């Protein structure tokens, strides 16, 4: 499970940062890619990576501001040109369906695959699959904005091969059956209970990805225990009033939120174009003084969630 930042800027692109887009690489788990937001020129950013657009099967839009959606028509069309035929599902606030369909219709763009839309008018569970559960929460922005939590389900523990051999069960297809079934009846009539020969479950990983928002301490419970929190830090600590008036967060507010949510790692993104390369150390240190395990994302930064 890897996260690649295709764009880490806020509002408008700069020479150092494109606008927001985050890719969650689930190729090892599901052979799929999930995209969170799709700012202008996202498809251009993808050209500098090994990402295959046809493998993107889910797109999550946090909100409908242009720096989070203006890249969609081009990216969707490129997915078609590059051989994408499998269905794609877009999740986002009400209006995302109209925006995409209107853009494609007016430009007479014809896709080689169907798009399914899930407009999230209420918060809570977005969907549940065999391996993952995705939930969302409403944030505090000047347009409806969402935060997503992606939870990997716990996995079965390791099979205790030594114990099976002590029970006189030789290696073979029966080992797989024992691990997959709660109880297995052997040829000699013995019943093997999985819990007796499988170790402790491997806890699933949790990633929280928030859209634009003011500081909302009450949402600490939503992100609680996340392996990674990806959160905007549009302004430096001295711009508290400006952040509040524009419905954004400062570096210190985001760090306080991560601390309250008991997350393992915080990654700051959505950085205002007013900040240049020489400002990155200041922004990072403001957050690290409160939450030491903080990183500052940059375009094409990849983080592996372990």
Query: Within this chain, do residues 49 and 146 fall inside the same structural domain, yes or no?
Result: yes
DSSP state at residue 277 = G
Tell me, what CATH number does 56's domain have? 3.60.15.10
Give the distance, in angstroms, between the CA of residue 213 and the centroid of all CA atoms in the same chain. Answer: 17
pLDDT tens per residue, range 157-181: 899 999 999 899 999 999 999 998 9
Return the biggest CA–CA distance within the chain.
74
Q: For residue 4, what are the contacts with CB-CB under 8 A and spacing of at least 6?
A: 22, 23, 25, 49, 51, 300, 301, 302
8 Å CB contact between 12 and 274:
no
Same domain, residue pair 232 and 257: yes
Instruction: Judge if 135 and 70 occupy the same domain.
Output: yes
pLDDT confidence of residue 156:
87
For residues 68 and 31, state if they share a domain.
yes
DSSP characters for 32-74? EEEEE---TTHHHHHTTSS--GGGEEEEE-S---HHHHTTHHH
Structural domain containing residue 139: 2-155+202-304
Q: How many domains does the chain have?
A: 2
When comparing pLDDT for 266 and 130, which is higher? 266
Could you tell me which of 211, 20, 63, 14 has the C-alpha nearest to residue 4?
A: 20
In this structure, the answer to whether residues 42 and 188 fall within a common structural domain is no
Mark whether 182 and 258 lie in a shared domain.
no
210 lies in the same domain as 251: yes
* Same domain as 143, residue 167: no
Question: Domain check: are 149 and 215 in the same one?
Answer: yes
Residues 99 and 48 in one domain: yes
pLDDT at 289 over 90: yes
3-state DSSP assignment of residue 151:
strand
Catalytic residues: 67
Tell me, yes or no, whether 84 and 183 share the same domain: no
Q: Which tens digits make up the pLDDT trace of 214-273?
A: 999 999 999 999 999 999 999 999 999 999 999 999 999 999 999 999 999 999 999 999
Query: Which DSSP symbol is given to 292?
Result: S
């Amino acid at each position: 499970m890897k996260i690649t930042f295709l764009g880490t800027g806020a509002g408008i692109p700069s020479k150092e940062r494109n606008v927001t887009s985050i890719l969650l690489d689930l190729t090892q788990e599901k052979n799929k890619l999930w995209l969170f937001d799709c700012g202008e020129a996202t498809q251009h950013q993808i050209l500098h990576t090994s990402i295959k657009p046809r493998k993107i099967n889910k797109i999550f839009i946090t909100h409908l501001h242009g720096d989070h959606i203006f890249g969609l028509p081009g990216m969707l069309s490129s997915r078609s040109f590059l051989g994408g035929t499998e269905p794609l599902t877009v999740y986002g606030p009400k209006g995302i369906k109209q925006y995409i369909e209107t853009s494609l219709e007016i430009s007479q763009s014809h896709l080689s695959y169907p798009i399914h839309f899930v407009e999230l008018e209420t918060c809570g569970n977005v969907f549940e699959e065999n391996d993952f559960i995705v939930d969302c929460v409403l944030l505090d922005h000047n347009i409806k904005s969402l935060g997503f939590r992606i939870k990997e389900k716990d996995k079965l523990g390791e099979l205790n091969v030594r114990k099976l051999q002590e029970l006189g069960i030789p290696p073979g297809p029966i080992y797989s059956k024992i691990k997959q079934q709660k109880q297995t009846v052997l040829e000699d009539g013995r019943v093997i209970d999985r819990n007796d020969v499988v170790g402790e479950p491997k806890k699933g990983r949790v990633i929280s990805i928030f859209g634009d928002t003011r500081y909302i301490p009450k949402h600490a419970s939503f992100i609680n225990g996340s392996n990674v929190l990806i959160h905007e830090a549009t302004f430096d600590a001295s711009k508290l009033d400006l952040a509040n008036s524009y419905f954004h967060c400062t570096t210190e507010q985001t760090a306080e939120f991560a601390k309250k949510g008991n997350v393992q790692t915080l990654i700051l993104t959505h950085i205002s174009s007013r900040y240049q390369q020489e400002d990155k150390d200041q922004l990072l240190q403001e957050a690290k003084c409160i939450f030491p395990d903080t990183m500052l994302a940059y375009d094409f930064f990849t983080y592996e969630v372990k």
